[in-house]
């Protein structure tokens, strides 16, 4: 059914948002030169989309005249040789260009790909990931997955070797970072990834996020974590039928790949490396959901997003939000107190990488350090509902004690 939808759109002369990719893919699959020439005609035009030009140059090379091949190469060679940005989307495009025109580069593209793999990925990007950087759901994750596929398939280099922790938990991050309720559009339903400011969702970004998930599964079909993603993706009502998403759906989806039920995934995802936090009351579509990512906190309840703010809080008690029986979220302050419910407790919006003294009813005071986002994770037994008091560690007192030792 994915092929039939793709074929219907292409032959029906639908307006394809990415014509180089769509027509080039159709030609690569069918050998129908009519559509390959449409891809070439588009690439020969005034477009500045180097990524799609690289795909057309690679997939439709047999249809290019020598003049056309030279013209397209003249667009790709400068893009392959120049690093204009460290943004993952720009790096992905540079890699595709370098691979496509490798035979036209003086060293076969070796210096460009070495700069991407060693200079950008190993020295910059993977180090930033270790320090708490994340690639955002949507087009950033799509670009990352296109890049890791292209590098592994052409150079047999696996980016996961330099960022094992990040990729190990990426599938759980990916599933958890989407709101519980689907968005019904004319062509299909969408799962919407986290986005800032609670405006209207961008459906192209939602389609890009689904495409990234499909690529994630294809990159390692044997990984248990990816099999949960597959189980989450393979529901027909979310199949991308629109002109933008359909080519990705056909190219990357594998409906025959076994998947595991995502209902077995934890309902709280917490990454102490970056501070990303996503919690849901259950796996139903009417679940309550809390998300914190890139300095924004949101509560999703009854189909609505509420952006949470911490300003103007009174002294003493602080706002708390129960996310079902899964966890409690407390909006913290240098000195705060609140009544907890049993289960995981996350105190958010404290000072990043800072030590706090935490006193829990019937327990001795203990010290906890916040993550890069300023979150404290406090595991509370489910049967308990203690009072909790938090304050910044007295640095002077601590230094005096250390000196006495």
Tokens of 10: 């292409």
Q: Which two tokens stand for residue 221?
A: 């079909």
Instruction: Summarize pLDDT for 329-387 with one digit per residue, the tens.
Output: 999 887 888 998 878 999 999 999 999 999 999 889 999 999 999 999 998 888 888 99
- Chain centroid, CA 222 distance in Å: 20
Which pLDDT score, from 0 to 100, does residue 317 have? Answer: 66
pLDDT at position 398: 40
User: Which backbone phi and psi does 291 adopt, to 5 degrees?
Assistant: -135, 140
pLDDT per position as a tens digit, 154-189: 999 999 999 999 999 999 999 999 999 999 999 999
Q: What is the pTM (predicted TM-score) of this model?
A: 0.93
Categorise residue 362: left if φ over 0, alpha if ψ from -120 to 50, beta otherwise.
Answer: left
Q: Are 88 and 125 in contact (CB under 8 A)?
A: yes
How far apart CA 52 and CA 70 sit, in angstroms, is: 16
Which residue is associated with the tokens 């670009």? 143
Confidence of residue 400 (pLDDT cuts 50, 70, 90): very low
DSSP code per residue over 363-382: S--EEEE--TT--EEEEE-T
Instruction: Reply yes or no on whether the pLDDT at 397 is more than 50.
Output: no
Q: What is the pLDDT of residue 315?
A: 53
Give pLDDT, residue 239. 98
pLDDT tens for residues 295-340?
Answer: 899 999 999 999 998 765 555 568 999 999 999 999 988 788 899 8
Q: How confident is the model at residue 195, as a pLDDT?
A: 96
Could you please report the per-residue DSSP string of 174-234? HHHTB-SS-EE-SS-EEPPBP-GGG----HHHHHHHHHHHHHHHHH-TT-HHHHHHHHHH-
Task: Report pLDDT for 234.
Answer: 96
User: What fold does the segment set 268-404 form as a domain?
Assistant: Immunoglobulin-like (2.60.40)
* Cβ atoms of residues 188 and 242 within 8 Å: yes
What's the chain's average pLDDT?
93
Residue pair 6/247 in contact (Cβ under 8 Å)? The answer is yes
Kindly state the percentage of the chain with pLDDT values over 70. 96
Strand duo 304-308 + 327-331: pairing? unpaired
Question: Could you read off the pLDDT of 243-286 as tens digits, one per residue?
Answer: 999 999 999 999 999 999 999 999 999 999 999 999 999 999 99
* Domain residue ranges of the chain, discontinuous segments joined by +: 1-133, 138-147+155-264, 268-404
Q: In this predicted structure, what is the pLDDT of residue 316?
A: 56
Angle at 88 between CA 50 and CA 203, to 5 degrees: 80
Does 191 score more than 60 pLDDT?
Answer: yes
> Is the pLDDT reported for residue 110 higher than 50?
yes
Among positive and negative, which fits the CA dihedral 377, 383, 388, 394? negative
- Residue 313 DSSP class: P
- How far is it, in rounded angstroms, from Cα 78 to Cα 247? 28
CA distance 246 to 22: 9
Residue 405 confidence (pLDDT): 40
Mean pLDDT of 77-87: 94
Tokens linked to 210: 């689904």
């Amino acid at each position: 059914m994915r092929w039939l939808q793709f074929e219907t759109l292409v032959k029906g002369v639908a307006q394809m948002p990415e014509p180089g990719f769509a027509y080039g893919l159709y030609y690569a699959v069918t050998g129908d030169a009519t559509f390959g020439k449409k891809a070439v005609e588009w690439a020969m035009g005034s477009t500045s989309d180097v990524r799609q030009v690289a795909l057309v140059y690679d997939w439709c090379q047999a249809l290019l005249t020598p003049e056309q091949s030279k013209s397209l190469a003249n667009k790709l060679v400068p893009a392959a040789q120049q690093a204009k940005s460290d943004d993952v989307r720009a790096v992905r495009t540079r890699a595709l260009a370098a691979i496509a025109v490798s035979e036209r580069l003086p060293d076969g593209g070796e210096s460009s790909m070495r700069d991407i793999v060693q200079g950008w990925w190993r020295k910059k990007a993977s180090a930033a990931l270790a320090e708490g950087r994340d690639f955002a759901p949507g087009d950033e994750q799509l670009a990352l997955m296109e890049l890791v596929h292209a590098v592994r398939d052409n150079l047999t280099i696996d980016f996961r070797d330099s960022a094992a922790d990040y990729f190990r938990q990426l599938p759980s991050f990916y599933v958890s970072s989407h709101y519980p309720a689907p968005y019904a559009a004319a062509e299909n339903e969408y799962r919407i990834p986290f986005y800032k400011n609670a405006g209207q969702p961008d459906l192209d970004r939602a389609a890009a996020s689904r495409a990234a998930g499909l690529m994630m599964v294809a990159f390692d079909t044997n990984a248990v974590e990816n099999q949960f993603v597959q189980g989450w993706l393979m529901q027909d009502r979310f199949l991308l039928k629109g002109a933008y998403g359909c080519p990705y759906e056909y190219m990357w989806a594998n409906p025959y790949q076994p998947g595991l039920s995502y209902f077995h995934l934890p309902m709280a995802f917490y990454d102490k490396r970056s501070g990303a936090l996503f919690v849901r009351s259950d796996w139903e579509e009417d679940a309550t959901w809390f998300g914190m990512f890139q300095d924004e906190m949101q509560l999703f309840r009854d189909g609505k997003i509420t952006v949470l703010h911490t300003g103007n809080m009174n002294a003493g008690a602080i706002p708390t939000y129960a996310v079902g029986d899964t966890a409690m979220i407390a909006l913290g302050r240098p000195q705060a107190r609140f009544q907890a419910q049993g289960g995981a407790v996350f105190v958010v919006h404290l000072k990043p990488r800072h030590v706090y003294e935490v006193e829990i009813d019937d327990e001795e005071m203990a010290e906890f350090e916040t993550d890069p986002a300023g979150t404290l994770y406090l595991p509370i037994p489910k049967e308990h509902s203690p009072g909790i008091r938090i304050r910044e560690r007295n640095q002077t007192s601590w230094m005096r004690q250390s000196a006495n030792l």
